[in-house]
Amino acid sequence: MRIQHIKELYDYRNLIWVLAWTDFKERYKNSVLGYFWSLLEPLLMLGVLYIVFSNLMKVQVEHYQLFLLQGIIMWSFFTRSTSGSLYALKFKTPLIKKVYFPRDILVISSCITALLMSIFESIVFLVFLLFFMIPLSLNILFLPVIIFLYFIIALGTSLVLSALNVFYHDIQYIWALVLQVGFFATPVIYPLNVFPQYLQDILKYNPLAQVIYLARDVTLYSKVPNLASFLFVIFIAMIILGIGYAIFMRLEPRFAEEV
Amino acid sequence: MNIIEVEHLHKVFRIPHEKRNTLFETIAGLLRPPVYETFHALKDINFTVEEGEMLGIIGQNGSGKSTLLKILARILVPTEGLVRVKKRVTPFLELGVGFNQDFTAAENIRIYGIIMGLSPREIDEKSDYILEFADLVKFRDTKLRNFSSGMQVRLAFSTAIQTRPQILLLDEVLAVGDQEFQKKCLEELERFKREGVTIILVSHDLGAVKQHCERTLLLDHGVQVMIGETDEVVERYEKVG
């Protein structure tokens, strides 16, 4: 059944892409500054956080500007994909009620939209990389794999959220809270070693923390990815995707009657 | 060959008395089982459709025609019974599903065409013809929000008609546009029929059903009253009122 489903998704690849691409375009269509906005947002955030954390909190991290920027871009991907997916089914009610296609397509394409936005934002990151002349190594070739695993984690989470949000309207509020806590439990603006040891021992099981560490290691610090974290992330990504699909598929038959 | 087989099909909708819309309400209400009202939308439907046939479905509002089409299109899931559909179904249940008002006509042809199952290549080849058929060539780069509803429907129909359906489900969509456009639509429909496409037509327009469908299914409050030669079925329907 799994293989069959993947084949079906492949048959619908054009639909996945057109939905993702139109959402991406639509986001900037009606704003005066257009695409420029999406570059301005991470830059502004970077400026504020950099001033606060490097001067007031005295965070001591090598290449802190880039550490911060990569953290922000990667964290935004997760919040965008999951929060966007909360409405992936609801905002497409006419599609669900009038045509057939595998419903997970809506969630997949919503995650792809988030990914497109993050890739676009990464232009700023690239400029910074060049500007600060950070030496890169071949280890950066691991980055696409890490991003792929990150995408899978976001997709699995989004599948659960989108399906539940059809039936329970308060999921969006609960999720906003979870994200707020998650932001501080993830090394976006500081490394986890600012916490006392017992907290670090708990937080290292946060898969997002591991993903962001891996990504930073291969881009900013020319390190080979840590095998243990790498395997941990692969394992977690599979589990989350599995759970995501199990819940989504169970609720799917009722979507057309409930949205 | 039977291309569609429906056996003992039932569809029951559950309408909860008190709708629990939040996780909180659901948890708080765990001890009180929810009270449902059931609505039996389709009761024991049985029929088959031959390949290349054109079947009409008639009945009053609320008789279950649209529910039946949605089940054939895999949008709704049967509560009981068996539905076998052996080829790809193209549903025209509503025209212009997925149209985006902020995009131009050409962009919307692309989006809608892909939703209806065309490939990007086919769309590139046909988009000029689609605009021509819809008589909207001048408005290729106009945003859809500036279109009248009639123009939007014409654009949608012209795009949808470009798909190469194997089984076509039509729900009242023939009643679009002015006389001249309707005539063009019916010509396209006849072309599909000649090409051997299986068509199921839901309509209140008994004249159209009589003209196009060999066989017709009559539904009344979810019950299959009769299926057979269109003339006899329509006569029965008109007699019962």
Q: Which residue of B has its CA nearest to A91?
A: B98
Task: Tell whether the torsion through CA atoms of A98, A101, A103 and A109 is positive or negative.
Answer: negative
Structure token digits, residue B209: 């059903």
Q: What percent of chain B has pLDDT over 70?
A: 95
B111: chain A residues, CB-CB within 8 Å: 18, 22
Q: Do B93 and A26 touch (CB under 8 A)?
A: no
ipTM: 0.84
The per-residue pLDDT for A85 is: 92
B115: chain A residues, CB-CB within 8 Å: 15, 18, 95, 99, 101
Which one has a higher pLDDT value, B18 or B44? B44
Distance, C-alpha A111 to centroid of its chain: 8
Q: Mapped to the 3 state alphabet, what secondary structure does chain A carry?
A: CHHHHHHHHHHCHHHHHHHHHHHHHHHHHCCCCCHHHHHHHHHHHHHHHHHHHHHHCCCCCCCHHHHHHHHHHHHHHHHHHHHHHHCCCHHHHHHHHHCCCCCHHHHHHHHHHHHHHHHHHHHHHHHHHHHCCCCCCHHHHHHHHHHHHHHHHHHHHHHHHHHHHHHCCCHHHHHHHHHHHHHHHCCCCCCHHHCCHHHHHHHCCCHHHHHHHHHHHHHCCCCCCCHHHHHHHHHHHHHHHHHHHHHHHHHHHHHHHHC
B91, B107, B115: residue with CB nearest A15: B115
pLDDT tens-digit readout, A165-185: 998 888 999 999 999 999 999
The per-residue pLDDT for B90 is: 87
The whole-number average pLDDT for the span B165-171 is: 90
Average pLDDT of chain B to the nearest whole number: 88
Q: Do A97 and B102 touch (CB under 8 A)?
A: no
The burial class, CB within 10 Å (0-12 / 13-18 / 19+), for B193 is middle
pLDDT at B36 over 80: no
pLDDT at B177 over 70: no
B115, B119, B120: residue with CB nearest A99: B115
The structure's pTM equals 0.89
The per-residue pLDDT for B38 is: 85
Q: What percent of chain B has pLDDT over 90?
A: 47
Q: Which residue of B has its CA nearest to A27?
A: B102
Q: Do B76 and A257 touch (CB under 8 A)?
A: yes
- Select from B82, B40, B165, B98 the least CA-distant residue to A98: B98
pLDDT at A54 over 90: no
pLDDT tens-digit readout, A122-152: 988 898 888 888 888 888 999 999 999 999 9
With an 8 Å Cβ cutoff, is A29 touching chain B?
Answer: yes
Q: Which residues contact A87 (CB under 8 A, 6 or more apart)?
A: A162, A165
Average pLDDT of chain A to the nearest whole number: 90
The whole-number average pLDDT for the span A72-100 is: 91
A14, A100, A101: residue with CB nearest B120: A14
Q: Do B70 and A256 touch (CB under 8 A)?
A: yes
Q: What percent of chain A has pLDDT over 70?
A: 97
**pLDDT confidence tier of residue B211, bands split at 50, 70 and 90:** confident
Structure token digits, residue B199: 């068509």
